[in-house]
Structure 1
């Protein structure tokens, strides 16, 4: 079972690619100036079993919890290790916030 959705796997690859470009000295090219760097951390929602303590030890910062579901922030570099932990059932990226404006206001 794949515990990470495609969007999070893509962020990991972009972060690894950007790190490789920095190490090889290619970051100063014009393309890197056009492409924003991937974020260092990402917000996630997860379903877990047993305890959150080992997940917190992997760098997860809990922002909310309800039963066996939690929301939090983690460094993208630690995301694969978190997904591989046996306490993780699944990880999701939170839905994007939508503007909820009252359309009756002129």
Structure 2
């Protein structure tokens, strides 16, 4: 094996030995969904869902409501930002002592 230059690397005390040798596969691991477990019974049928909205009306309503709330928050933030860009804050005027 030709000696490689050690550009950009620290020298290592041993010479490289080549590729690792991998042995022959002995068995086959079970897939996680087919693995045995004592916590959940795999053969049990899943219960029916409690609420199903096949029309998608609830999802549309929630999405529109979330968009409306988001737009209102963005408008409130823009309003606060614009008011900060206006005139600088001045302290309130103190009454003159002769006005008493």
- TM-based fold match above 0.5: no
**Relative to total residues, which structure has the larger strand share, 1 or 2?**
1
* Rg larger for: 2
TM-score if structure 1 supplies the norm length? 0.21
Which fold has the larger relative contact order, with Cα–Cα distance below 8 Å and residues 6 or more apart in sequence? 1
TM-score if structure 2 supplies the norm length? 0.22
